[in-house]
Every structure is written in structure tokens, then in C-alpha cells.
Amino acid sequence: MKVQKSMNKNQSRGERNNNPLNIRRSADQWEGARDKQTDCNFVQFKSMAYGYRAAWKILQSYYGHFCSKGMLFQVGNIVGRWAPPLENDTENYIRTVLRLSGIGGKENLLPPENVDGYGRLSKLLAAMTCVECGIGMERVDYEAICNGYRLAFPANRRKLNRWLCEEDEYRNW
């Protein structure tokens, strides 16, 4: 499903910024960031695919962090780090993501760079987009999630394309 790219006032901030997970500005120099950043708080990307590329790379760093601390790569740990309780209703965020994604709360997810885990993690990113942008699943740009993965892990392009052709669950999503 492809989302219209026209700018309108019905778009969320994350959609206008091509930053569907509302990644905050920091010292990080994100690939695909717009040359001129006009939002004081959140990174603005050239396209939604680059916004998702950044999200995939953050998930990859979370996976490494959790492994080094002996933690599991589960929705609760991911969302707890992404949207800490000091700034968010983290428990509600986790419940919403679990409901929208269909991922089990105790499910240990595969690392982002493992193509076999793409289906589950792409659903996670779609659900997090809904929470971050205040939109329904029908407005999530699934093609951009996929293209963001290709940008984040270019060595996996062929494997991902093969996976997408073979995976019935994703085709019916």
C-alpha cells in the first residue's frame, strides 16, 4: 500500500518530516536527512524510506545493546527504550504495539539484519508508526518500510526480495 506524498495539514508531524518514528535530532548524521532541518526537535528526512532506514539502524543498535546487557530483544524492551516512561505512557504504547503487530509480549525477536526476522520487525515498525504518528495501520507506508530495510542492509537485498516472494504472511498483510 502506497501513501500519498502530498503535503497537507491532515498529515502528522512524523509524516511531514518523513520521520514516521519521530526520531529526535541529535549529533547523529543520518543518511538521507534533509540538508535544511527546520524542525527543532525531530530529524527531517528526504523520504519515508530514509526515515525507516534510520529506524532499522536504531533497532540494530538496540539489539547489540540488549545482547551486551543480557536482555531479550522483545517489544517491551524495545519500546521501553524508544519511548521511556519519563516522556511517554510506555505501558499503553507497548500494549498498542503488541495488539497492532500481533507479536507476542514474550517473543524474542531476531536481529534486524537477519532477513528471517524481517516480517515481525516490519510489523513492529508499522505499529510503532501508528503510535508515533497517531494514524491507523491503513496509512502506514509498507513499501517505505521495505525500502528502508534495503537502504539499511544493502547486502541483504537479494535475500529480502526472495523472502518477500516466498512469504505468504507478508503478502496477505
Give a yes or no: residue 133 inside a domain.
yes
Give the whole-angstrom CA distance, residue 72 versus residue 24. 24
Cell numbers 519500546 correspond to 79
For the stretch 16-34, pLDDT in tens is 999 999 999 999 999 999 9
Report yes or no on 6 lying in a domain: no
In a domain, 40, yes or no: yes
Number of domains in the chain: 1
- Give the amino acid at 120: R
Q: Examine residue 3 and state whether it is found in any structural domain, yes or no.
A: no
- Rounded Cα distance between 136 and 138, Å, is 5
In-domain check, residue 4: no
Residue 2, domain member (yes or no): no
What does pTM read for this prediction? 0.90
Q: For the chain, which residues score pLDDT lower than 50?
A: 1-6, 171-172
Identity of the residue numbered 132: E
Q: What is the pLDDT of residue 8?
A: 64
What pLDDT score was predicted for residue 164? Answer: 83
* Full domain range(s) for residue 48: 13-171
**Residues 83-92 pLDDT 10s:** 999 989 999 9
State the Cα–Cα distance between residues 142 and 158, nearest whole angstrom.
Answer: 18
Would residue 8 count as lying in a domain? no
Look at residue 28 and tell me if it is in a domain: yes
